[in-house]
Structure 1
Amino acid sequence: MGKVALTLVIIGALNWLLVGLFEWDLVTAILGGDVHRESSWVSRIVYILVGLSGLYCIRYYSVDDVRTRS
């Protein structure tokens, strides 16, 4: 269950990175809807930081049990 949760968190974070950098929503593009989001520069910075955090979390796939990491 830990790997599934980690995968969903990383996908969400990468989606926010795309929103922050390009104002483009990947999840909406896949599931349907308006893929362009207009955001303030402050919210875009937050989206980018969350996205970069998601990239950082990819390293936790090498951990045997994701729940043991803090």
Structure 2
Amino acid sequence: MRSINLITLLLVIIGGVNWLLVGIADFDLVAALFGGQQATLSKIVYVLVGISALWQLVPFSRAIQIGEPRSEAHLR
């Protein structure tokens, strides 16, 4: 479970950085790396980032319910 949380967190961070670049510089890094927004690889990355964001709702809601330090105690 810890590894999937780290992978999804990394993908959410990548997505956040991509949106930062879109907002600041009108530059889509994912599209630039993988051949445009309509390219299959770009779409896969966008979908994985979106699924990762949904996955991260679970630890986020747990942190809200029981407090952040206790929510991560099982990960150690």
More helix, by proportion: 2
Higher relative contact order (CA closer than 8 Å, sequence separation 6+)? 1
Larger radius of gyration: 2
